Each structure stands twice: as C-alpha cells, then as structure tokens.
Amino acid sequence: MALVEALVTGGIAGGVYGLLALGLSLQYGVARILNLAYGEAVVLAGIVAFLLYQAFGLSPLASLGLLPPLFFLLHLFLHRTLFLPLVGRTLALNGATEGRVILLTFGISFVVQGLLAAEWGGKLFSYSYLSQGVALGPTAVALNRLLACSLGVALVGLTHFLLVRTRAGTAVRALSREPEEALLVGVPAARFAGYLFALGGGVAAAAGVLFSMFHALTPAMGPEFTLKALVVVILGGLHGALGALVGGLALGVAEALVTRLANPGLSLTAVYGLFVLGVLYLRGQREAARQ
C-alpha cells in the first residue's frame, strides 16, 4: 500500500515538476541562458499568488491567467537589456561569454533573494485552497494537488503541440539544435531567443502559482526550485516538453519513494543523487557519440 501511495503521489508531483523544468529548458535549450535565478521567479510568483488570495480573495486559477503574462514581459525586458548584449544576435557563445551569463543570473538570484528576505524574512506562505481529499484508486489525494498536476500536464502538452505542429515551433526546434544552420535560412535568432526566454519566465510563474496551491513557500526556496528544475532538465536530456515531463515524473516518483519508504529528510538527497546520475548518463552519451 505504501508503495502504491508513493507512486501515485510522486506521479502527481511529477506533473508539476515537468512544468517547472519546461521553463528552464526553454531558456537554456533555445536562448542559451542557464538561468540560476529561475527558482526565484517561481517563488516570487507563488508569493504574489498568496498575497492576491489573502488580500483580494483572487483564486490561484485567476492568478494563473494574470501572473504568467506579467512575468513574460519582465523576462523579455531582462533579456533585451541584460542578456542580449552578452549572448549577441547569433547566439554563438564561447566559454567566457557563457561564464559571464551564468554569473549574471547568479547575481540576479542574490538580488532577488535579498529583496525577498528584506521584505518578508523567513515568513512561511501557505493557504488552503481545494484541500479536500479525492479518492484515487487505493489512496486519497488532495484536490489541489490533482488540479495542479492536471494543469501542469496540460500546459506541457500544449507547449509540445506548438513546438511540433506549428511553423514557429519548427523554427524554434531548428534554432535549439542547429543555430548556425537556422540563421542561414532566415530564422531571427535574437528575437526568437528573447521570446523563448520570456516564455520560460511565464512558465516559471505558472509553476509558482501551481506550487502555491499545495506547497508552503519561503523567500529562501529559490535555489531549491532551480536545482529541481535543472535535475529534471538533465533527466529529460533537453528533449523539449515531453523530456521535461518524463524527467519531472522521474523526480516526483523518486522523491515520493524516498519520503514514504525511507526518511522524509532524505528527499533532497534523492534530488542530488538523480542530478549526479543524470550528469553521468549525459557524459556517457557524449562519449558514445564521439566513438
């Protein structure tokens, strides 16, 4: 019974983790920006959703329609003012440039963390929304978790459809795999990169709102969300939306198994373990390709 409950709980969490990682995958896989401030966007959106719910009674579903567009515009502004001068219009990054970009995102992460800590310190943000249980096979699941999972999977599926079935999606996939060849056929690399980086910020906001429905948030949780998103991206192998969803399910199930069958305090250890395994797997794939 405990194993079944862990699998169900982990699978439901994996749907939200897939959405969490999708934004970082778009930012890194297409815009070539490894955004270490990604988790801060998730936390900030979740806190704002909490404040809107507490102050105005605005449901998280309404925040889901309000906050992602605002974060999209914010990230588009950041890309054009801070990142585009570094990465250039051809997205041809060398080691030095990529290092500067990572340091820039690292600095943004510290700035946002400092502002959040100055305003709210170690305050815990949590509210009750659709917390009643729903029977799901042999176990019961909170309705807010089930709704968050469903919305997360739906948004990942919609992104996959747009990337695979539309002309713009074809250009995005070409830019992510062969940027130099995409430039030769007229794909506007800088514009697409800016929009994809901004879209990643909007996805981060959506994930933050969904997490706020069932997960207590603190201003210092940004690096944890960044780590989890990075782990899922690595597990998914940067294979777009479906890769993010598969990686999210793997992380969710691993966390649930460790929490239920071993020790809840080891859940973050499972995250680090999957990170190491994912890095070793990708390294083995590169070695096989070279041979």
Q: Give the whole-angstrom CA distance, residue 121 versus residue 117.
A: 4
The pLDDT assigned to 223 comes to 92
The residue type found at 229 is A
Q: What is the pLDDT of residue 1?
A: 61
| 147-166 per-position pLDDT tens digit | 999 999 999 999 889 888 88
Number of domains in the chain: 1
Distance CA 94, CA 101 (A): 11
Q: Angle 115-79-82 (CA atoms, 0-180°, nearest 5)?
A: 70
pLDDT at 203 over 80: yes
Average pLDDT over residues 193-205: 93
Least confident stretch, 18-22, 69-73, 82-86, 174-178:
174-178
CATH number at residue 158: 1.10.3470
50-59, 89-98, 264-273, 277-286: least confidently modelled range: 277-286
Mean pLDDT of 71-100: 83
Residues 6+ apart with CB under 8 A from 51: none
Q: Tell me the average pLDDT across 197-217.
A: 93
Highest mean pLDDT among 2-11, 90-99, 102-111, 271-280: 102-111
Rounded Cα distance, 216 and 144, in Å: 13
Tracing tokens 């890194």 back to the chain, one arrives at 28
- Residue found by looking up tokens 């807010």 in the block: 144
pLDDT tens for residues 242-286? 888 888 888 888 888 887 777 766 677 777 777 777 667 665 554
Q: What number is the average pLDDT over the span 222-235?
A: 88
Q: How far apart, in whole angstroms, are the C-alpha atoms of residue 130 and residue 135?
A: 14
Containing structural domain, residue 67: 2-290
